[in-house]
Structure 1
Amino acid sequence: MKSLRHAATLGLLVAGGAVVVAGAAVAGLVMSVARRVVTPSERVTDTEVLSIDTSAQVVALGRTPDTQLPGRYGLDLGAAPGYLKIGAVLSEDETSVRRKLLTQVVAGAHVDRHASFSGYYYTAPGELHLPYEDVLVGTAAGPAPAWLFPAASTTWVVQVHGRGATRGECLRAVPVLHAAGLPVLIASYRNDGEGPRTRAGAYALGATEWQDMDAAVGYAVRHGAERIILMGWSMGGAIALQTALSSRYRDVIVGIILDSPVVDWRTVLRFQAEEMKLPDPLPRLAMDALTTDWGARMSGADQAISFDDLDLVARADELTIPTLILHSDDDGFVPSDASHALAQARPDLVTMSTYTVARHTKLWNYDQHRWNDDITIWLRTQGIVPAPEGADTIG
């Protein structure tokens, strides 16, 4: 595959104004796609609020693949009344879905019609009613805020959120991990809006962010952790896997838990390009551009990104740590193909729990009991927490 630099150079050298203009247009489009890949996204309003019945505490939403999902979710309205928790689907038709409000909205409240549907459910650590501390993790990029939920065990879980998300994404996992007696450290990382900002302020898709998770692991070790479980959500899965392969503390990492993870970025970006109906050469050229220093700079990234290094299916032989993958086959954003491929490549280490309907990073919301059981049983199977007599196993 020709590099973007080669393509752009040829375009500039070809005689004929039309060809030059066409080449420049293609190069500009390619760089636009590359820039979108590494640029942290703003809050996306993907849900229309049709009405709120404050007497019955019911909200009517425009029907989408997310708003019709069973379970408990969040609705981010940006301004007041802010973040609403929503529950069961009460009724639906071809264009709308009525759901129970779990956060009370008072009569007369102004509610924006444009909202973001979210799987976070919890947005702040105090909502869990568990002891926690605000701590700072020192990273090479600067201090990174983190939440620490202490517990008695010397086996800690270090969690990391996904692309375009914040630490709040990880809060859903704290109750089940805390019930197992495990301290939980939820870390931020460079350019996520909470952690330190680099010069370019762009994502590296896990290629550099893993260093911040490694610093969080170091914090845990310095504060009494003897064993570490890494847990990553979506792009946080890519970060966790890179940490597992490259960490200074590999000897104390005893497990990995991944929810809707990015295991191979090429698979993800090809899928997303198809969803956006981008013609086939564009995602390939954009990824090619990001692998070069020149293309990375043009896209706004701090440095070139190696998609080979981020491909854990190709690097499956390097994996040495027991791993639990939780993924929905109709994820809708990060396809489960690479997760299945990694599980097939390393059945000795990887346990795959496959969901349907749940979509991206909403497995807990869709079926909290199964999700909690999957994690608890895996922890017992690995000997991380004691298993009661007659306990089930997964795998």
Structure 2
Amino acid sequence: MMASRRAAPDVARQGTVIALRGTVVALATAFVSATGLLALLAGGVARRVVTPSARVPDTTIIDVDTAAQTITLSRSDDTVLPGRYGLFTTGTQSYIKLGTVLSARGETVTRKLLTQIDESDSLASAAGFSGWYFSDPAELHLPFERADVGTALGVCPAWVFPGAASEDAAPTEDVWAVHIHGRGTTRAETLRGVPLFHAAGITSILASYRNDPDAPRSRGGTSALGATEWRDVDRAIGYARRAGARRIVLVGWSMGGAIAMQLAVNSAHRDLIGGVVLDSPVVDWRQVLSHHAALSGIPRPLTRVALDALTRRWASPLTGAVDPISWDRLDVLAQARDLVTPTLILHSDGDDFVPAQASRDLRDLRPDLIELEEFEGARHTKLWNYDEERWTSRIREWLDARGLSVAGAAGS
């Protein structure tokens, strides 16, 4: 009887231990599963950040009136903007130019067509609204040549537009503007800025960089958000230097702004950089990506994990980023005290893609060096389209004040 009494507690303890072990295993399995799920979700978010983005339709062509040469689109914050724009299409036309808004009623907006559309043309309904306006260098009707810029990855093609002579002075042949496009676009995005610099007597080089459609592919083919792309653009500065440039103006659009600021700090030719002009620039990627994550309804903890994963080499299989991305190095606000180059920023309070707050913060940190021209109502990289006269005159005044244009050089 005594033995049986001792056995009962032993059996009970064994059952308890087994149950506890089962609970621990279940909890551990659940933890691993949850952690794995979190990692997969974070990896998916991170992969979207570094994967080169493709243009996706964001408006619908509802009607084309070939007699009146008008086009009716679905209404959005972009398609209702005043000014001149472009539209990526498919069918017999791949890109068409749009003029002024003629009417905006309900869910539609009708604009003037600036590209001739005939009855024989056929356009798909899905289209992409664009601020490019110009899609080919020949459309500027300015002399230009094609150039090959050698980089560590191979040849990056570029366009070079010589500056114009004025009545009073020859072109400032020693001043070149290096135009840098944004993420998911091509150097055609920066064609809008060329006439201004041409008229100022400044030679322009429109650079391409790794993973552009006509440029070399990086290892893995992913974007580093400017952390490596700047090295290719630095070679374009070297090309300009060998061609006679003695002063450089960097002109960056969106992510091109992030690249320009990397160049201002790290370029082997930074002694030549006399000014930086930024249109809708990315000043701090963490702010931009957190903003987009919030708009997409991604929880903040997941966003933090995704951003952290992009800094870890071991997470590369999940994130797709071959090399870790240092957010601190891409944070211009954190490096504000190290900046030495006069900079003009043009940004809009209506930019919901790269919010203007970081540009304001940078101006406030370095008011001695940074000027901010803030537009109202324009949207991301559409300031030229929205108010070309203001965009052009503000940059020209800034160039003149620094002796970087024909007029400024003549007066200095």
| TM-score (structure 1 length as normaliser) | 0.93
Q: Secondary structure at the match of 1:251?
A: coil
Query: Any stretches of 5+ residues in structure 1 without a counterpart?
Result: 1-12
The answer to whether 1:95 aligns with 2:107 is: yes
The answer to whether 1:207 aligns with 2:219 is: no
The answer on whether the counterparts of 2:283 and 2:332 sit within 8 Å (CA) in structure 1 is yes
The answer to whether 1:140 aligns with 2:173 is: no
The answer on whether the counterparts of 2:40 and 2:318 sit within 8 Å (CA) in structure 1 is no
Match of 1:272 in 2: 292
Q: In 2, distance between residues paired with 1:362 and 1:70? A: 10
Match of 1:34 in 2: 46
1:299 Cα deviation after fit: 1.4
Match of 2:360 in 1: 340
Q: In 2, distance between residues paired with 1:182 and 1:73? A: 25
Q: Secondary structure at the match of 2:271?
A: helix
2:402 to 372, 382, 387: 382
1:387 Cα deviation after fit: 4.8
1:22 Cα deviation after fit: 2.4
Of stretches 78-87 and 316-325 in structure 1, the one that deviates more from structure 2 is: 78-87
Match of 1:156 in 2: 176
Provide the aligned C-alpha RMSD in A. 1.4
Match of 1:254 in 2: 274
The answer on whether the counterparts of 1:327 and 1:339 sit within 8 Å (CA) in structure 2 is yes
The answer on whether the counterparts of 2:280 and 2:354 sit within 8 Å (CA) in structure 1 is yes
Q: Secondary structure at the match of 1:371?
A: helix
Counterparts of residues 309-388 of structure 1 (less than 5 Å): 309-385=329-405, 387=407
Q: Deviations over 1:146-204 (max 9, x none)?
A: 00001232100001100011011000000001000000000000012222101200000
The answer to whether 1:77 aligns with 2:84 is: no
Q: Deviations over 1:281-331 (max 9, x none)?
A: 122111100111112343112200000000001100110000000000110
Match of 1:10 in 2: none
1:27 Cα deviation after fit: 1.1
Choose 1 or 2 for highest CA Rg: 2
1:230 to 233, 236, 250: 250
Match of 1:175 in 2: 195
Q: Deviations over 1:341-364 (max 9, x none)?
A: 111111111110001111000000
1:15 Cα deviation after fit: 3.8
Match of 1:4 in 2: none
2:318 to 298, 303, 316: 298
Q: In 1, distance between residues paired with 2:132 and 2:268? A: 31
More helix, by proportion:
2
Q: Secondary structure at the match of 2:61?
A: strand
Q: How many residues align structurally?
A: 377
1:308 to 321, 328, 337: 328
Q: In 1, distance between residues paired with 2:26 and 2:100? A: 61
Q: In 1, distance between residues paired with 2:180 and 2:303? A: 27
Letter in 2 for 1:227: R
Q: In 2, distance between residues paired with 1:297 and 1:19? A: 21
The answer on whether the counterparts of 1:14 and 1:20 sit within 8 Å (CA) in structure 2 is no
The answer to whether 1:22 aligns with 2:34 is: yes
1:42 Cα deviation after fit: 1.3
Q: Deviations over 1:215-250 (max 9, x none)?
A: 110000001101111111000000010011001111
Aligned identity (percent) is 53
1:109 Cα deviation after fit: 1.9
The answer on whether the counterparts of 2:83 and 2:100 sit within 8 Å (CA) in structure 1 is yes
